[in-house]
């Protein structure tokens, strides 16, 4: 069974640009979650999608947004990139109310 | 608010030593509790879980018991290997917000031969 896959593995952007990160969940999983793992800040919950709807978002500004597609894959968009957005972005998926399974992440570097 | 507190690392051990990583939580109600492990350059892997008081989660020689009275979920392994070197995260999930995991800061474990 294929796990959660994320692309790209690494992404380098400059301040002010926009970044798009992609996530394919484990087959059959309908819920997708995004987390930010920034140096010194630990793992922070970003977004939760279930059946195409945003169910909850963490304490992040509106320039962090995303969506879930009919095939349950998901995109995370970050607009107007700032230096402090440099982090590992982790996507996870699960069946409803079941343990989350994580991908290997996208490393976003802002120059 | 809800929170998870883990012992600070790094924890450095010799192979075959006993490992304990303390985790305590603050939350209303009865959250589910998890331990995840992150190996270098990888994402998180679910190690074990417990969904109610006195539940014991176990996997790959690791164990943790959900202690409601002490709001704790300490991780233990009787004999560590070099391959257990990783960062370990304790996390909770509330019943009324099951999509959101709240993580502790993580504890780095280094096992030397």
What pLDDT, in 10s, does the model give residues A54-97? 999 999 999 999 999 999 999 999 999 999 999 999 999 999 88
Q: Say whether A42 and B105 touch across the interface (CB within 8 A).
A: yes
Structure tokens at B88: 């370990």
The shortest CB-CB distance from A99 to any of B34, B41, B89 is to B34
**Tens digit of pLDDT for each residue in A29-50?**
999 999 999 988 889 999 999 9
Question: What's the mean pLDDT in B39-56?
Answer: 93
Task: Dig out the tokens for B82 from the structure.
Answer: 């070099």
The whole-number pLDDT of residue A5 equals 97
Label residue A1 by pLDDT band (50, 70, 90): low
**Does B98 lie at the interface with A, CB-CB under 8 angstroms?**
yes
Structural Rg of chain A based on CA atoms: 13
- Taking CA atoms, B23 is separated from A15, B1, B75, B76, B107, in Å, by 38, 17, 8, 11, 10
Given A97, A99, A105, which is nearest B43 (Cβ)? Answer: A105
State the nearest Cα–Cα gap between A37 and chain B, in angstroms: 10
Compute the average pLDDT of residues B53-72: 96
How long is chain B?
A: 113
In Å, the largest CA–CA distance within chain B is 44
């Amino acid at each position: 069974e294929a796990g959660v896959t994320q692309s790209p593995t690494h992404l380098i952007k400059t301040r002010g640009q926009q970044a798009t990160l992609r996530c394919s969940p484990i087959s059959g999983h309908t819920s997708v979650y995004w987390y930010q793992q920034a140096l010194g800040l630990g793992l922070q919950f970003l977004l939760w999608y279930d059946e195409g709807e945003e169910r909850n978002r963490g304490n992040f500004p509106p320039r962090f947004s995303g969506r879930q597609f009919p095939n349950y894959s998901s995109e995370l968009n970050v607009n107007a990139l700032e230096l402090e957005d440099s982090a590992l972005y982790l996507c996870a998926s699960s069946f409803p109310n079941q343990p989350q399974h994580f991908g290997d992440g996208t490393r976003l570097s802002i120059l | 608010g809800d929170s998870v507190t883990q012992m600070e690392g790094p924890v450095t051990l010799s192979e075959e030593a006993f490992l304990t990583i303390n985790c305590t939580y603050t939350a209303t109600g009865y959250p589910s509790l998890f331990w995840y492990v992150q190996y270098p350059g990888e994402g998180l892997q679910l190690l074990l879980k417990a969904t109610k008081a006195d539940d014991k989660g176990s996997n790959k020689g690791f164990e943790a018991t959900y202690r409601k009275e002490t709001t704790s979920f300490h991780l233990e392994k009787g004999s560590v290997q070099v391959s257990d070197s990783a960062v370990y995260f304790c996390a909770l999930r509330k019943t009324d917000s099951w999509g959101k995991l709240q993580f502790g800061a993580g504890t780095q474990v280094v096992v030397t031969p």
